[in-house]
Amino acid sequence: MRTGITNTPQAKVFTPAREDPVRAILFMLGSTVFIATASLLAKTLTTGAIGPALSPLQVSHGRFIFALLAIAGAALALRLRFHRVNLPVHIARTFCGWAGISLLFAAIAFIPLSDATAISFLNPVFAMLLAIPLLGERVGPWRIGAACLAFAGALVLLRPGQGALETGALLALGAALILGFEIILIKWLSRAESPLQILLVNNAIGTVIATLAVLFVWVPPTGAQWAALAAIGVTMACAQGCFVNAMARAEASLVVPFSYATLLVATLFDAAVFGVIPGRISLTGGAMIVAAGLVLAWRESRLRPSGDSPS
């Protein structure tokens, strides 16, 4: 199948001629730092740490509009050529991305970054389960076992009966579910469109959706809040760029486990900025979810070279 990726500058950036595992790992680690930084900035905005607290919808709006500006600049510099834009799938994917990130920004106003980040790592598990009816994939005992372990970890982090923490964990769980569905849509898009095209169209549509949603809650940000909103957008754009470059330079089974460094970075940020030290429950639940993800990555690395069916 033709991918629609031609020998253009953006194709060279996002589709290297040869694998480079070391750079792939470095790109993935860079992505984790950018994601954790954006989450930290979002928490300062939604909790009122720098001026009046902003709605998660307004923070999400800033994320999309400034990310669009950054990615559009990259697209102009790399002379992006559009190929067969699948607009309906793009709209569905972007709506899921906007809804998921908005829920995540709402969650981190209630719970520690480390807890929200850990629960968000359920999105590959949800994607795996959704791939059964939507992509016709088969799921065997290894994947089922990993999913059960991940959901058990999420249940630990939900802490039933803990009031606000329970609310925040449920919001993060909803974000993970929606972002899991987004992964399925990204798989469909990546079969025919270049990564930079997907990122540009995604953020353009996301800006429209976020703008319509923010009309009902928008308040004038302070100068510091504008700076934080711009930083969120730019860091998220950098995170997306690092992620697709990492995936283009090595097998997913090699680089995906390094994405769990996001949890470590978020924990460090929580401790340094908010003085939040994860307790035994948070460490246990997070470790269970990360372990489930690592099991899935290990299993995929064993299956792919031999061409065995998923299990």
pTM: 0.80
Domain ranges for the chain, please list them. Answer: 114-173+250-302
214-246 per-position pLDDT tens digit: 999 999 999 999 999 999 999 999 998 888 778
Q: Which of 270, 268, 260 is nearest to 292 (CA)?
A: 260
Q: From the CB of residue 284, how many other CB atoms can be counted at a distance below 10 Å?
A: 14
263-289 per-position pLDDT tens digit: 888 888 888 888 888 888 888 888 888
80-136 per-position pLDDT tens digit: 888 888 999 999 999 999 999 999 999 999 888 888 888 888 887 788 788 778 777
Cα gap 237→240, rounded to integer Å = 5
Q: Look at the block and give the residue holding tokens 């899991």.
A: 180
